[in-house]
Amino acid sequence: MIAFCIIVLLLPVCGSVPLTGWVQSPGHPRGYDPNSRLTWKECAPTGHRITLTLIHLDVEESFDCEDDSLKIFADEELLFKLCGRKSMKELQASINPFLHSSRGGCLSVSFLADYSNPERHTGFRGFYAIQDVDECTDPENECTQLCNNYIGGYRCFCRPGYVLNPDEHTCQVSCSEDRNGSREGVLMSPGWPEPYPENSVCSYTLAVEEGLQFELTFTGVFDVEMKENGQCIDSLTIKPLSGDVRTFCGRKLPSFFLTRSQHVEIIFRTDYKGANRGFSLSYRVREMNCVGPVTPSSSLISQHSYSEYPTGYKVKVKCDKGHVLKSIKSAEVEYESTCQKNGEWSPVIACEPVDCGIPELSELMELSDKDPPTTYQKQISFKCKSKYYQLDNTGHFTCNAEGYWESESGEKLTEDSPKCEPVCGMNTEVSFGGRIFGGKKASLGQIPWQLLHRSSPRGGASLISDYWAITAAHVVDGYEQSTLNWLGGIIDAQDKNAVTMETEKIIIHPKYNKVVKGTSPNNYDNDIALIKMSARVPLGPNIRPVCLPKITDELEGESTISGFGKVKESKMSQNLLYGPVEIFSLDKCDSRGLPVTHNMICAGGQSIDSCKGDSGGPLFSPVLGYGSPDKPYRLIGIVSWGPPECGNESFKGYYTKVQNYLDWIKETMEKN
């Protein structure tokens, strides 16, 4: 009884929870009746567990214990479902070792007999006990050093020289030290030169008056635990009041350095294991000086060159090339600064890179990258928005020191801006052969530079840019002050979806021999005119310009003519027709008495000819179907004049030689 009372004092819960007891089936040991039932449950208090020891088992045996059964649960999980007979030896070997709860958990028993019991069975009996758990034997108790178990719980404590953290599990060395006012001394890891202890967090504080700084020198061995990849496991951190924080580990002895601060905190941290030796460093104070540069991207201008400058020393601060003073709106790049007692320069004005800004772009152009950096030495590039345009010059520029975008050749963007010029001489359809006089129909996009003027006199023109077209002078003679409409992007003269272009200017070559309106000219020399449209032509797959010829091109072999002109008798073609013609020397062509000049080309073929209504249209090379990006279609001639009998093989047609007018075309377009 005395022993029991002592237990009660140590275990406050004994008054409400029996420490031991028996649990048995109804009627034991005489035997249980059919339809017998028993439910039992006991829970252990905190820091304890409950165990059950079966000393007898005799329950009707059936498959999977379907008739009568004894179920034992621990913390609501089924441990065993039992039936049949087992000896005490069998129970001790295979059942009893597993009949226990978790710490603070519960055991429960459920006994159930069915309606029949052909043979009398005595049932079961077991002894339960509530036992204290020794938490100190549990590797997960998280005590980093020592553990003390007591009934219902455990407590961590530390070896001498350590203190227990607020988490009540971790021990750490009490090694922090305030050396405020100390001008020199030595700091060492705990236990130096022996290995330092685990779970250390040592903080050493150094502080002196303004105008001084600490000089740190590591001595002897430096050995702070580090992973193979260079990551610190343990660490030594030097943290000045201002300036860079440095962290060290490994075995390489850190070099001497100045803290540039009158206040320094040195923090040494270790983990829970290791056998490294730590560190030893000495410190002393010295006067605070200033070092350069005063601000990034600048240099010092001084009568003397020092690695450090004394208090009160004045220097000129000059921004590096391509940088200007941030707070000054002008292009100033220089100011005066003085070394202060705290080792800082004053004033400090940042030098920021020159910013060239985003340049103004034409409606056809855009930046290759969205929101690119635009400061000194940064690069930008341009591209055309549409695939029907290409840059006429380099699209790459660099921001220079003066704040201008500069090309690789040194040209300023404002002076040498790239332009998006239409891609010329390309089509979307490929075909071969055909004739214009009674000839073959063109496909949509096959001759996309062909334009049509339906009013009297009916005529054609060739688009040579997104604003300009070229035609024969006699087609527009007398209409210089009028507004004419031209159709493009079609192969059917009646197409209601044609692109309509309105003229802004009609410029006839100044040496063309003008005639009285309503009559035919008797001299077709300089039969060429330029048409400027009032708005930009919307280029696309079915309407795009033809290239002008090169001055060095040799005009020979086959070319192609196209137009909506007369096909037989007085009937004009509704469809765009084309066909190949051969170029001949002028002395092999019959002009019917009309004057022929070097400004003309003579061309024709078998039953292939331009005719009335084709005037102003193109003669282009190479033959349709053989153009490529490397060999675009070029306008070599303009349908000008010929014999009345279109398609007569005895006579050829005459075309204005575009090659002779390249300078006039260029100058006229630039001036207008």
Task: Report the distance separating Cα 362 and Cα 379, nearest Å.
Answer: 19
The answer on whether 477 is annotated among ligand-binding residues is no
The answer on whether 234 is annotated among ligand-binding residues is yes
Task: Report the distance separating Cα 477 and Cα 604, nearest Å.
Answer: 26
Phi, psi of 671 (to 5 degrees): -85, -15
The residue type of 124 is F
Nearest by Cα to 561 from 486, 624, 476 = 624
Q: Are 348 and 332 in contact (CB under 8 A)?
A: no
Judge residue 592's burial from the number of C-beta atoms within 10 Å of its C-beta, 0-12 exposed, 13-18 middle, 19 or more buried. Answer: exposed
Task: Report the distance separating Cα 111 and Cα 381, nearest Å.
Answer: 86
Q: CA 430 → CA 427, 447, 623, 628, distances in Å?
A: 8, 10, 11, 10
Task: Report the distance separating Cα 36 and Cα 123, nearest Å.
Answer: 10
Q: Are 469 and 533 in contact (CB under 8 A)?
A: yes
- The two three-digit tokens of residue 337, written as one number: 């600064």
Query: How many CB atoms lie under 10 A from the CB of residue 319?
Result: 25
Nearest by Cα to 270 from 354, 197, 169, 188 = 197
For strands 365-367 and 379-384, give the pairing: antiparallel
Task: Report the distance separating Cα 463 and Cα 533, nearest Å.
Answer: 10
In the three-class reduction of DSSP (H, G, I as helix; E, B as strand; rest coil), residue 432 is classed as: coil
The answer on whether 116 is annotated among ligand-binding residues is yes
The answer on whether 133 is annotated among ligand-binding residues is yes
The answer on whether 466 is annotated among ligand-binding residues is no
The answer on whether 61 is annotated among ligand-binding residues is no
Q: Which residue's structure tokens are 């339906």?
A: 454
Would you please indicate which residues are annotated as catalytic (active-site) residues? 474, 527, 615
Query: How many CB atoms lie under 10 A from the CB of residue 468?
Result: 21
- The two three-digit tokens of residue 433, written as one number: 């052969």
Ramachandran area for residue 438 (φ above 0: left; ψ -120 to 50: alpha; else beta): left
The residue type of 431 is S
The answer on whether 225 is annotated among ligand-binding residues is yes
Q: Which residue's structure tokens are 């975008």?
A: 405
The answer on whether 524 is annotated among ligand-binding residues is no
Task: Report the distance separating Cα 251 and Cα 223, nearest Å.
Answer: 5
Q: Are 581 and 556 in contact (CB under 8 A)?
A: no
The residue type of 615 is S
Q: CA 369 → CA 290, 384, 386, distances in Å?
A: 43, 12, 16
The helix (run of H) or strand (run of E) holding residue 504 is strand 499-508
The answer on whether 132 is annotated among ligand-binding residues is yes
Task: Report the distance separating Cα 361 and Cα 397, nearest Å.
Answer: 14
Task: Report the distance separating Cα 462 and Cα 422, nearest Å.
Answer: 14
Binding residues: 60, 68, 114, 116, 132-133, 135, 149-150, 153, 225, 234, 271
Binding residues for Ca(2+): 60, 68, 114, 116, 132-133, 135, 149-150, 153, 225, 234, 271
